[in-house]
Each structure stands twice: as C-alpha cells, then as structure tokens.
Chains A and B, each alone.
Chain A
Amino acid sequence: MLFRNIIITAFFTALIAGVLLGTMQAFSTSKIIYAAEKYEIEEAADDHHAHDTATAHHHESEEWSPKDGVERVGFTFFADILIAFGHSLLLTSFMALIFLKFGKPEITWRSGLIIGIGGYLSFYLATIIGLPPEVPGTVAADLHARQIWWTMTIVMTIIGLSVLYLAPNASKLLGLVLIVIPHIIGAPHPETHGFLNQDPSAVSALSQLEHQFLIATAGVNLVYWLVIGLFSGLFANKFLKANRNGFALS
C-alpha cells in the first residue's frame, strides 16, 4: 500500500537525518543559542530596568521546560526526528506525486538528492532572505505575520521550482515569478533591528553570535537537506516499488 510505504520511507529517513541533525546542532547552532541566552540572564542581574523583561520571560516559560544538559539535548533530538519525519514525508509524497502525474523523475537516491536541494532552497534559503536566522533575544515583528510570510514563501518557492522543472519552456517564466513574489511583498520586519538586551557589550556580542548563527544554520541545514533527500530517494526506491504504471499495490 502506497500510504504505508511512504510512511515507512519517511520513518527510516527521519531516524537517520534527525539523529544527524541533532548531533550537528549540539556542536554548532545549540552552542550559539546557549551563548545568546546568557545575555538574557545577565540582563536580570545587571540592569534593574531590564528586570521586568527578564521576569516576564521567566513567567512565560514557567509551565515546563527541559532542564539544561542531557534533558534539553534529548528533547532537541526528539523534535529533530519529528521535523525530519515531516520533511521526508513531504519530500517523498512530492516525489511520488510528480512521478505518478508526470512520469519523472525516476525514484532513486539521485532524484531524492536533487529534490533535497529544492527543499533547502525552499525551506532555508528562500525564507532567510526575508527572515534571517535569529538567536534568542532578537527583536522581531509579530509572530503570526512572520509565520504567514514564512509559510507562503515556502509554498510558493516549492510551486515555483516545480513549474521550472515540469512546465514547458514557454511557461517556465511563471515559476520564476512565483519564487520572486514573496520577496516583492516583503517579510514583516520590526521597526528597528536589534536585541532586547540593549547593553552595548551585549549588543556587540549578540551581533557576532547572530553572524555565527547565520553561517552555522546555512551549513547544518544544507547537510541535513542533502541527507533527507538522499535517504528519502534511497528508501523510496526500495519501498515504493514504482513501475511504468504507477506503484505496485502490495
């Protein structure tokens, strides 16, 4: 059954890509996040004006949060595996759908790798053009507005890339238009870019961390998407049993 085979493909891919993502994060992006969070805490100790903000933040996360250390890293791994499952499920479904409707590309690790690059372009590159990766403590625009722009950008980039790949030459321009539209609309931005902690030394440190975070996320997400694509293609080739007429029933 196709449904089950796509789920199995995503499940195995998620175990590999999710664990790899969690490991890469532990050595790069998570360290930067922890470093940035230190400025949230010092804020409370050093500055009375900032105390309210710090208390409010504490109150916000009063419900429950994983303890720093093994527990926090463990939950990050768990979340990573879930994200990888979602991404692989989407990528494998996409690959199966265009194979079914257009008869191309063949379902192999090579196709998976190329669609993985498409995933990196859609989920990472297209979105960070408007919404650069943020360390904790960055001043940002309204969350819902950003979520809407972020989702719209991904959807339109995926459709745009698909049009570039699948549509006849005369219509390929439409694909480029779709990819560019979200950036013409523009992402929601706060009135001024900056950090909640306005102490000059904190701003300087956080600016550096922000720069490091951009480079770290670019690398981590690239490797992650290549692995998602590669293994989704590899397992889909094994489990989906594609043939000229579509997919085998069993």
Chain B
Amino acid sequence: MNTSTQLVNETSLSISATLQIIATSLIALVVLYGVGFNEMDIAHNAAHDSRHSATFPCH
C-alpha cells in the first residue's frame, strides 16, 4: 500500500516536471522568435545587429 502510494506520487511528480519543462521551452521559443524573426520595423531595427551576428536570416 505504502509502496503504491509512493509510485503514484512519483509518477504525478514526473508528469508535472515534464509539463514545466515544456512550458519553459515554449517561452524560449517565443522569446527567440520575437528577437530573431519578428518583422515589425521596430523589432527588426532594434535587434538588427544582433540578428546578423547570431546569423538569423535577416532582410
């Protein structure tokens, strides 16, 4: 009984950890998209030199 409770806890813990990692990965992608790919003039001009140096496709 005790063992099974522990197993359930560990499983739910690991699912939640996976979801948290997926969430942080998604935030990373949104940030990188915003700095690297956003086509608004303001975003492009502000990040221009960084985009070229990090070799994002630009222009």
* Cβ A133 vs Cβ B52 within 8 A: yes
Chain B residues, CB < 8 A from A213: 52
- A interface SS class: helix
* Cβ A136 vs Cβ B59 within 8 A: yes
The smallest beta-carbon distance between A166 and chain B, in angstroms, is 16
Interface residues of B toward A: which range? 35 or more
Kindly identify, within residues 84 to 106 of chain A, every residue whose CB is under 8 Å from any CB belonging to chain B.
85-87, 89-90, 92-94, 96-97, 100
Kindly identify, within residues 25 to 45 of chain B, every residue whose CB is under 8 Å from any CB belonging to chain A.
25, 27-29, 31-32, 34-37, 41-42, 45
Chain B residues, CB < 8 A from A191: none
Q: Say whether B53 faces chain A, with CB atoms less than 8 Å apart.
A: yes
* Cβ B49 vs Cβ A150 within 8 A: no
B36, closest chain A residue (CB): A83
* Cβ A64 vs Cβ B45 within 8 A: yes
The smallest beta-carbon distance between A158 and chain B, in angstroms, is 11
* Cβ A221 vs Cβ B55 within 8 A: yes
* Cβ B49 vs Cβ A90 within 8 A: no
Task: Contacts A89-B27, A128-B55, A143-B59 given; indicate if A30 touches B49 (C-beta within 8 A).
Answer: yes
Q: Which 8 A-B pairs have the closest CB atoms?
A: A65-B45, A63-B41, A89-B28, A146-B57, A86-B32, A79-B47, A79-B50, A86-B31
Interface residues, chain B, CB within 8 Å of chain A? 10, 13-14, 17-18, 20-21, 23-25, 27-29, 31-32, 34-37, 41-42, 45-59
